[in-house]
A = this chain, B = another copy of it.
Amino acid sequence: MTTKYISASIPTLKRLPRYLQVLKALNQEENMYISATKIADELKVDSIQVRKDLQSTGIIGKPKLGFELKELIQSIESFLNWDNLTDAFLIGVGSLGQALLGYENFKKSGLNIIAGFDIDEKLVGKTIRGINIYNINKVEDLIKRMKINVAVIALPANNVNMIVEKIVEAGITAIWNFAPVHINTNEDVIIENVNLTQSLAVLTHKINERKNKDGGTK
């Protein structure tokens, strides 16, 4: 059996969780159908886009009815790999790392943080929100022994690249990076950089834009 592989653009991937959120808020009764139009109305976005996005998950709908609710949820989750839990290590358990441990939603999104690592002796040995914190010097050994492939990095800027090199060497193949440093490694490693400064740039420029518009007429 061959499964047709469907790809999706980054913008589409980023919209899918919003649809999922709407869908999960509904009563998931058997044989309930929901249309792209309904989802679009709810989110105040364009219905054609919703339809296209849903199609990229591979689901097939029924004209007039829409998409079977449970099947649709399953289709999106499966497309995003959210129906499998992937174990991950958290590297850096400062305030940001601890905040990330607080997001219980990650588990719903397929990511299971099973241990934390830090250099700070005051943290090592502690348990935060049920997660044990180990000394950072144990991370390579544990990556190998537990065959961990995913790391969440919440370190300060310095030393990030050195640690990345080490953990990639030890077996990490995907990194979710919260450090204020853009990580670039070879192409075999999947990197998702969460750069707050980039987000702030969009916000501050928009503020500036509005200011110029308002002030420009005086």
Interface residues of A (CB under 8 A from B): 3, 5, 7-8, 10, 13-18, 21, 43-44, 79-82, 86, 94-96, 98-99, 102-103, 105-106, 109-111, 149-150, 173-174, 176, 180, 182, 184, 190, 192, 194-212, 216
One of B95, B103, B203, B207 near A180 (C-beta < 8 A): B103
Which secondary structure characterizes the binding site on chain A? helix
CB pair B99–A17 under 8 Å, yes or no, is no
CB pair A5–B99 under 8 Å, yes or no, is no
CB pair B174–A109 under 8 Å, yes or no, is no
Chain B residue nearest to A86 (CB atoms) is B207
Q: A18-B182, A44-B184, A80-B201 are in contact. Are A212 and B99 (CB under 8 A)?
A: no
Please give, as numbers and ranges, the residues of chain B lying within 8 Å of A211 by CB-CB distance. 81
Please give, as numbers and ranges, the residues of chain B lying within 8 Å of A16 by CB-CB distance. 201
CB pair A17–B197 under 8 Å, yes or no, is yes
Chain B residue nearest to A103 (CB atoms) is B196
CB pair A10–B212 under 8 Å, yes or no, is no
CB pair B86–A204 under 8 Å, yes or no, is yes
Q: A102-B95, A103-B180, A192-B199 are in contact. Are A204 and B109 (CB under 8 A)?
A: yes
CB pair B86–A96 under 8 Å, yes or no, is no
Question: Bound complex: CA of A40 vs CA of B144, how far in Å?
Answer: 36
Please give, as numbers and ranges, the residues of chain B lying within 8 Å of A98 by CB-CB distance. 95, 99
CB pair A105–B197 under 8 Å, yes or no, is yes
Question: Bound complex: CA of A98 vs CA of B5, how far in Å?
Answer: 43
